[in-house]
Amino acid sequence: MKLTKVPNWIRKLKSGRIWDFSVLNNEVFLTFDDGPQPEVTDWVLDLLLKHEIKATFFCVGANVRKHPDIYARILNEGHAIGNHTFSHQNAWKTSKKDYLEDIDKASELIDSKLFRPPYGKISNALVKDIKEMGNEVIMWSILSYDFKTNLNTESQLKILKRKTSPGSILVFHDSMKSFHNLKKMLPSFIEYGKTQGWDFKRIELQ
């Protein structure tokens, strides 16, 4: 089953993570995982620039090393960045030591206290360790499913529009795998958001 909006029982079970924000205004938070990726990240940045909005990019350290120019562009254009490990580690298949080392390795390239676990997979114990390192673990409330092959983008776009509300954190991917779906959904989603008066902002910790 495809769960676009993360249900409350999952949030309760998985503590210590940020799933969305309580906002007094119309702020909505777009996030992009897995870049920087040539062509895709640039396409996203062009779109954000056109609409004069900001977002947050959870970068993979290895991709930052490969594409420092695109990474610099993300920063220069005023977006927030986050750590998504160096080699897109799966916490369920990696030892705690290796996982934390991989985050450390990424943090040498990515100067951020925002962390998002690849695949959303992470134990409560590991969340605690990562927070003790001074980071916040940022999940999402709305999953775009842009990575899904054969996604019915038209119906998924309707779901995204309906489920999103002020304070929502949405996750998209600036990866080749998702590019096809991203191109079909993101421009229309942003345009819809503007008609709703949503204020697309980057994630900033108090």
Query: Catalytic amino acids?
Result: 33, 173
Residues 30-89 that bind Zn ion (CB under 5 A): 33-34
Count of residues interacting with Zn ion (CB under 5 A): 3
Q: Of the candidates 35, 118, 166, 193, which one interacts with Zn ion according to CB under 5 A?
A: 118
Which amino acid type is present at position 200?
A: F
Query: By C-alpha distance, which of 182, 189, 186, 162 is closest to 5?
Result: 162
Q: Which is nearer to Zn ion, 175 or 193 (CB)?
A: 175
Q: Which is nearer to Zn ion, 33 or 136 (CB)?
A: 33
Q: Which is nearer to Zn ion, 33 or 174 (CB)?
A: 33
Query: By C-alpha distance, which of 58, 103, 54 is closest to 76?
Result: 54
Phi, psi of 9 (to 5 degrees): -65, -30
Other Cβ atoms closer than 10 A to 169: 23
Instruction: Write the DSSP symbol of residue 86.
Output: S
Residue 174 binds to Zn ion (criterion: CB under 5 A): no
Interacting residues with Zn ion (CB under 5 A): 33-34, 118
